[in-house]
Amino acid sequence: MQRMLADTVVVLDFETTGLSPEYGDRAIEIGAVLLEEGVIVDRFQKLMNPGFRISSFIERYTGITNDMLKGQPRCEEVMAEFAGFIAGRNIVAHNASFDRRFLDAELKRAKRAYEGACCCSLLVSRRIYQDAPNHKLQTLVSHAGIPRTGQFHRALADAEMTAHLWLSMIGRIRRQYKLQTVFFDQLGELSRIDRLYAHRYLTSLAEAGGCRGVRDEGAGESGTQCNSRRIMWYVLY
């Protein structure tokens, strides 16, 4: 299977009625941008009616009001459409465990599913921007010098700013480690490594030429898969 580039992804964000679909919370807005080789080529944004009134706290936090949600399509209708937008793409989100829970729950209600990979830009940022005061999106946008594209806590604006943050981290890796190509699975691996070993891991990728052309047993005839045991040896020893 061909490896996917890190800068060709869908970056998404949900605004919701609360913290978890396990407690009956629902999505009220989805925003997403499609990146292809580092360029935003498409956008998706929809409000959706959860079927009940949202709290005054959520209205203040997001700027989305109950009046705005009146007459909006049901979550199932929106998510059935969004399933086509992300089909065949890897996805990125800031604090991705939150967004992935709602993505899976709402797609299930729409009788759809997502089979791709997901990476958390917050976890990656903890390894790339270790000097940031914290790793909230608003803080990182300021820390990395990323222009604001709209109001924080609105889905499309957050998705666009997360996309620019994601690209800034890829750019920093390319410059600092002289890596011409950064793959999505490499940033997924980076997000799971202790931040103390992040520099060593990225250095090992550079020494291995980004793992391009490294033969891995079981990788098939293309031989383009990174030999993870070789890389992890550098990290652990």
**Which sequence positions are flagged as catalytic?**
153
Structure tokens at 149: 């594209």
Q: Which long-range contacts (CB under 8 A, 24 or more apart) does 172-181 make?
A: 172/128, 173/128, 173/202, 176/202, 177/202, 177/203, 177/205, 177/206, 178/206, 179/205, 179/206, 179/210, 180/210, 181/5, 181/210, 181/212
10-16/39-47 β-pairing: unpaired
Q: Side-chain half-sphere of 156: how many Cα atoms within 13 Å?
A: 10
Using CA atoms, how far apart are residues 154 and 29, in angstroms rounded to an integer? 8
Look up tokens 């709290």; give the residue. 55
